[in-house]
């Protein structure tokens, strides 16, 4: 038994040695299997190299808009932006320290950031720029201190950081030249002669076309264009969202069905009513009411001149009147309002004490349109004890 066990033990030992030798790689094989050694622990071979976009236009994305249709903003790598308005104007916004790309769109106005020392001949545009915290970028205005109801703008003129250069129809070109400004924002009321003179002075003009927008909130959304120009996108987005929130909340309530007429009478006795497709008429609809003159100026914004009898026939049964105070003789009392025309006393809104006036700043503060719609909504639901809201006051 012992003689047979010894050969078997030797065979088992030899087999174990063979198996152990096959399982262990040679020094050469081990070197091939091991990963390469990295001498510097700070080196990250897999990290992508950042590309230099200076002087190049590489498209990234387009600004998202909720209502505005008359402008767009495209964003490019490296911080470049291309803003376009519906009249064909293009503005290439170049980040500070970056060069103008060789493939810049032909005819584009080049704005090197920071953009400043500009002229603004529009109170609504100024209100949007002011609301996003970029008022310091404006150096020249075509409205004097007494014309302003926005305190920060009035104060800027009084301390001299914002200079009045005359009426927008006939500005002081010497002041514009001495200020060395090269960019002006105008409303679509810019006249051809002023446009030609500014062009001769080397001043690029951009027309704010927010008045051409269909939805009232689109006017507020134009703040996003100025946000892109002045690197204030976050502020512009917050402004728009806050105003849109008013409309969202009102939309949850039932429509009141109450009718509202909006008009004014000039110092010469001419009556102008807001057209059915004007933004103020649309504000009434958004507020939960109905515009009382749905057949006046269909498809048109702005106002329509009307004969008193025609206006009375259309609006005599309106539940409410919103009188445009700043354009219509500025009545302080209901008696002042009725002095404009005897026929007004027969209107339902007058008999029931529902004649309201806009506040003086109504047309200057485009940044608050959502809040204005909310005021109209509150007016429609107010009882006789409510005499004043933020942008509307009852005539008594």
Residues 39-56 pLDDT 10s: 445 545 444 545 899 999
Q: Quick check: 129 and 120 in contact, CB under 8 A? A: yes
Is 59-244 a CATH 3.40.50.1980 domain? yes
Residues 82-112 pLDDT 10s: 999 999 999 999 999 999 999 999 999 999 9
Residue 109, beta-bridge partner list: 91
Q: Quick check: 60 and 75 in contact, CB under 8 A? A: yes
Assigned CATH topology for domain 253-394? Rossmann fold (3.40.50)
What's the whole-model pTM score? 0.86
Question: Hunting for tokens 């603004």 — which residue is that?
Answer: 120
Residues 106-146 pLDDT 10s: 999 999 999 999 999 999 999 999 999 999 999 999 999 99
Strands (E), 122-242: 138-141, 163-164, 183-186, 204-207
Question: Hunting for tokens 């509307």 — which residue is that?
Answer: 392
Count other C-beta atoms under 10 Å from residue 362's C-beta: 20
Question: Hunting for tokens 């103020």 — which residue is that?
Answer: 280
Q: What distance, in Å, lies between the first and last C-alpha atoms of the chain?
A: 130
- Report phi then psi at 3, rounded to 5: -65, -35
Residues 159-170 pLDDT 10s: 999 999 999 999
Strands (E), the chain: 59-62, 71-76, 81-85, 90-94, 109-112, 118-121, 138-141, 163-164, 183-186, 204-207, 259-265, 271-274, 290-291, 303-306, 320-323, 355-358, 392-394
Question: Which residue spans of the chain are classified as CATH 3.40.50.1980?
Answer: 59-244, 253-394
């Amino acid at each position: 038994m012992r003689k047979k066990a010894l050969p078997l033990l030797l065979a088992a030992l030899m087999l174990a040695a063979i198996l152990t030798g096959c399982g262990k790689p040679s020094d050469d094989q081990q070197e091939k299997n091991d990963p390469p050694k990295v001498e510097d622990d700070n080196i990250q071979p897999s990290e992508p190299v950042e590309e230099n976009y200076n002087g190049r236009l590489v498209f990234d994305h387009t600004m998202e808009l909720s209502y505005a249709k008359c402008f767009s903003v495209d964003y490019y790598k490296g911080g470049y932006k291309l803003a376009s308005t519906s009249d064909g104007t293009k503005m290439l916004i170049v980040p500070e320290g970056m060069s103008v790309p060789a493939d810049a769109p032909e005819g584009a106005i080049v704005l090197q950031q920071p953009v400043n020392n500009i002229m603004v001949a529009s109170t609504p545009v100024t209100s949007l720029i002011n609301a996003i915290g970029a008022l310091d970028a404006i150096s020249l205005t075509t409205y004097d201190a007494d014309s302003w109801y926005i305190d920060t703008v009035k104060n800027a003129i009084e301390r001299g950081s914002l200079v009045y250069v005359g009426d927008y129809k006939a500005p002081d070109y010497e002041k514009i030249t001495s200020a060395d400004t090269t960019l002006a924002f105008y409303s679509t009321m810019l006249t051809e002669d002023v446009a030609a003179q500014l062009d001769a002075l080397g001043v690029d003009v951009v027309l704010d076309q927010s008045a051409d927008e269909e939805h009232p909130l689109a006017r507020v959304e134009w703040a996003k264009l100025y946000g892109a120009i002045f690197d204030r996108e976050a502020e512009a987005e917050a402004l728009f969202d806050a105003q849109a929130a008013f409309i969202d909340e009102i939309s949850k309530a039932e429509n009141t069905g109450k009718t509202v007429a909006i008009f004014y009478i000039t110092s010469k006795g001419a009556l102008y009513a807001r057209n059915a497709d004007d933004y103020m008429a649309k504000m009434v609809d958004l507020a939960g009411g109905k515009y009382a003159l749905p057949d006046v100026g269909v498809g048109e914004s702005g106002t329509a001149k009307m004969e008193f009898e025609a206006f009375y026939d259309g609006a005599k049964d309106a539940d409410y009147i919103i009188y445009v105070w700043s354009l219509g003789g500025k009545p302080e009392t209901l008696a002042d309002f009725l002095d404009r025309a005897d026929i007004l006393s027969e209107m339902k809104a007058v008999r029931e004490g529902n004649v309201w006036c806009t506040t003086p700043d109504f047309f200057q503060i485009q940044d608050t349109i959502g809040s204005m719609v909310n005021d109209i909504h509150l007016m429609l639901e107010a009882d006789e004890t409510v005499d004043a809201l933020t942008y509307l006051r009852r005539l008594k």
